Amino acid sequence: MQELRWLMRAKRWANRPPSESRVKLVIGAIVITLAIAGFATFVGWPDWAQTDGVGRNAVRIQN
């Protein structure tokens, strides 16, 4: 049943493709996401941008 839904969506997309501005928006979002992930992986994440881990689901490590 799920495959039929995807086929119908693909048919609708083929008949009426997204606008150029929508494609640019999606590609821009992907590029920004990859840039942030690459920065965090290769350079590191600054201390001011990290969470403290306080709350109900916080993991507490005691030495």
Would the pLDDT of 1 be above 90?
A: no
pLDDT for 54 equals 64
Residue 26, pLDDT score: 94
Q: Residue 63 above 70 pLDDT?
A: no
State the CB neighbour count (10 A cutoff) for residue 42: 7
Separation of alpha carbons 29 and 26, rounded Å: 5
pLDDT in tens, 4-26: 998 998 899 899 998 999 999 99
pLDDT tens digits, residue range 20-55?
A: 999 999 999 999 999 999 988 888 877 777 777 666
Cα 44 from Cα 39, distance rounded (Å): 6
